[in-house]
Amino acid sequence: MEEQLSNQNNLYRPKTDITPGDRAAHMGQVPRTLWFTGLSGSGKSTLANEVEKSLLAAGHYTMLLDGDAVRMGLNANLGFSSQDRVENIRRVAEVAKLMNEAGLIVLTSFISPFREDRQRAREIIGKGFVEIYVATPLSVCEERDVKGLYKKAREGKIPNFTGISSPYEPPLSPEITVQTQGHSVQESAQELLGLLAPYLGQ
């Protein structure tokens, strides 16, 4: 039998034998979404990449969702209006949730500058959500300017650029905060892995 969820839309949640718990047990891990947030150039993707390498080497099953890559596919039909930025984050959260239901540890790397959007992601994903604030100061990000975007933004060539012409709202109580300033990538990644351990245990 099936459980009817919505009379109005004739939607049913099918009764399936395999549950998210079964898939996680099969993988032998606790599914999590490690939600990296921080300014452009803060080191989110670099750190997520290092953490994924270590998790895989430790036998975990992982997936990395990157802002720019997702915008080339799933979210290719979204722009950068505030409405579209909200939808961008919502879809990523829903995909991360589905991947958690598959048993995976998901790492997401999105600026995700607004508290409200991250709060919604937290609600969608549920208890697997771990907010990781990559707290590199704006001055350092702008000095690095890996993609040359800050220069363009200062020249007024990119509208609504986070940190320059659009706000970044730092997390008020993230599960984890990482400093990258004055540390090598390896140092920051090792620190982060230590802080993550309690969330990845059984």
Catalytic positions: 112
Confirm if 103 and 145 have CB atoms less than 8 A apart.
Answer: no
How far apart, in whole angstroms, are the C-alpha atoms of residue 134 and residue 108? 12
Smaller CB distance to its own copies: residue 14 or 182? Answer: 14
Told to check if 12 binds its own copies by CB under 8 A, we report yes
Q: Specify whether the CB–CB gap between 199 and 130 falls below 8 A.
A: yes
Binding footprint of its own copies, residue count (CB under 8 A):
52
CA angle 33–174–154, rounded 5-degree value: 95
Interactions with its own copies, residue window 117-136 (CB under 8 A): 124
Using DSSP's 3-state secondary structure scheme, residue 12 falls into: strand
Among 119, 123, 146, 159, binds its own copies (CB under 8 A): 146
Give the whole-angstrom CA distance, residue 70 versus residue 14: 28
- Contact, 99 vs 128, CB < 8 A? no
Question: Among 21, 28, 56, 115, which residue interacts with its own copies (rule: CB under 8 A)?
Answer: 56
DSSP letters spanning 112-156: ---HHHHHHHHHHHGGGEEEEEE---HHHHHHH-TTSHHHHHHTT
Q: How far is the CB of 187 from its own copies (least distance, A)?
A: 17
Residue 71 engages its own copies in binding (rule: CB under 8 A): yes
* Closer residue to its own copies, CB minimum distance, 3 or 172: 3
Is 85 a binder of its own copies (CB under 8 A)?
Answer: no
Binding residue for its own copies, selected from 89, 99, 176, 192, defined by CB under 8 A: 99
Shortest distance in whole angstroms from residue 12 CB to its own copies: 5
- Token code pair at residue 78: 């979204």
Select 96 or 178, whichever has its Cβ closest to its own copies: 96
Q: What is the DSSP code (8-state) at residue 45? A: H
Residues binding its own copies (CB under 8 A): 2, 5-6, 9-14, 16-18, 22-23, 26-27, 45, 49, 52-53, 56, 61-66, 68-69, 71-74, 77, 87, 91, 94-95, 97-99, 101-104, 109, 124, 146-147, 149, 152, 158
